[in-house]
Chain A
Amino acid sequence: MSAAAVYLDSPPPDVAIAERVAADESTRRPALLFFHSAVVWLVIGSVAGLIASLKFQFPDWLTGEAALSFGRVRTVHLNAVAYGWAGMSLVGLAVWMIPRLVRAPLYRPGIAVAAAWGWNLWLVLGLGAILAGWNDGLEWLEIPYPIDAIVVVAGGLMAISVLGTVARRKTKHFYVSVWYVLAALVWFPIIFATAKLPIFGGVEQAAVNWWYGHNALGLFITPLALAGAYYFIPKVLGRPIQSYSLSLVGFWALAFFYSLNGIHHLIGGPLPAWLITTSITASVMMVIPVAATAVNFHTTMVGRFAALKHSPTLRFVVAGSMIYTAVSLQGSVEALRGFNRVAHFTHYTVGHAHLGVYGFASLILFGCLYFIIPRLVDWEWPSDRLIRWHFWLALGGVAIYVVSLCVGGWLQGEAMLDATRPFMDSVNLTKPYLIARSVGGTLMLAANVTFAWHYWLVVRHRGKERPEPAWSAGGTLA
């Protein structure tokens, strides 16, 4: 980048608008392809998740076909929502956001389109392999090794497009969201390729597996979702983030502390004590970036909470950012040996994971899409009512799901540790909590289907044409 191409971060308004329009135009095709695909994977993944959950109540249901057994359906759910919904929508968000923030059109949009098709091909083949009974047998890494080569190529193409855009930036600084996006796009290929190396065995393999599993959340999903929150909270409010310096502290603290967290999944396992202690320490140190981010998000909102009545974007993103604070602090506590001794190997962990991926990341993503999609398809969301239903179904569903599994999981853990009680006690006492889990899952599926239907309406320009945006202060969602 030549120095002459760089100007201070405040170009004249007409230039800024022209650059933003050019940026949006350049990202329209690839971003829409990522988002369309993500919404399809969201519905597929949610249906698979509910089927898996209902099998706890109806264990003889859908047992005639091996492809529909719990082990395969549950694995399809995880991969479809983690890599299909969250992964593709977060990359789409990055594709849309980066050109706006660096004031340069997306570099080679065709490459990003090819990456989106490659990502879909990887998932179709990977999930097909899982349903057929062919998988690598490692949590979060089930898609077979040869098929993973496709996503490596797709990820490389994506990196070329995004890094090429950043290399042509016209801004003097990186906004904090750009830091998060760039970091995630560097971290993810490293952790994925490392965990997939066919050289680990036994305890080593378990350690690398959980190092990856936790980092997929913390070094890929989390930074991209936070990038979205750091963009949209100030954008919709029309006021900058409370402390920009603090946002950088949050980013660098996450960068330095997160990568060691995963080994706390193996507390009590046959690993060196120093390794587990290091991981617990890093998990507790995560309080620093989480506090920095939480303070920033929440103090930026102070005095502006009324805006939540009008803006679907803000409503979802703020809810997601509040849940980020909660789930992160819960995670730090879960890593402590005394707590982990009870909660580990129980439904508690499942509740925590859903609070992270759905309560935090997905709610933020929904909020981002409520802002982005009308700008990409030139049509406003037609129904406030569908947005309201989506929000409350999603929030209510995840709340029921997480509370029931955390309470049930804790009781399950205590029962398993009590040598005077038969093991079956720990199974039977979870039954009502697993019913509540299915109720919560049903509500989340209903929320996702509501969103997908509304998404289809806006993309197809169906429904009434609105005189004002859904986030206009003239209307209210409350």
Chain B
Amino acid sequence: MSPAAVYIIAICGAGAVIACAAFVWAALKGEFTDASEAAFLVFDDADEVQRTPEQRP
């Protein structure tokens, strides 16, 4: 096996570990439970979309 192949396998392996760790971390932190709560995070001000610059806080 060439050195380049070893590098790329190691890098991809590390990437996979990061991805799996992120997934497990998310599950343990409760990101997938009551997830629909998070859907409302985009709303902080019901009127923001309709306000002019002068009217914005």
Contact = CB atoms under 8 A, between A and B. Distances in A.
Interface residues of A, number: 58
B39 A252 contact: no
Contacts of B38: 9, 171-176, 244
A98 to B, nearest CB: 12
Interface in B5-45: 5, 7-8, 11-12, 15, 18-19, 22-23, 26, 30-32, 34-45
B40 to A, nearest CB: 6
Consensus secondary structure, chain B interface: helix
B6 to A, nearest CB: 10
B15 to A, nearest CB: 6
Interface in A197-237: 197, 199-201, 204, 208, 231, 234-236
B26 to A, nearest CB: 8
B18 A8 contact: no
Interface string A177-215: 100000100110010001001011100100010000000
Contacts of B50: 468-469, 471-473
A9 B40 contact: yes
Contacts of A176: 38
A256 interface: yes
A373 to B, nearest CB: 11
Q: Of residues A16, A103, A469, A473, which shows the largest number of chain B Cβ atoms within 10 Å of its Cβ?
A: A469
8 contacts: A8-B37, A17-B57, A103-B44, A194-B7, A241-B39, A374-B53, A380-B53, A471-B50
Interface of A: 8-10, 13, 16-21, 100-101, 103, 171-177, 183, 186-187, 190, 194, 197, 199-201, 204, 208, 231, 234-236, 238, 240-241, 244-245, 248, 252, 255-256, 259, 311, 374-375, 378-380, 466-469, 471-473
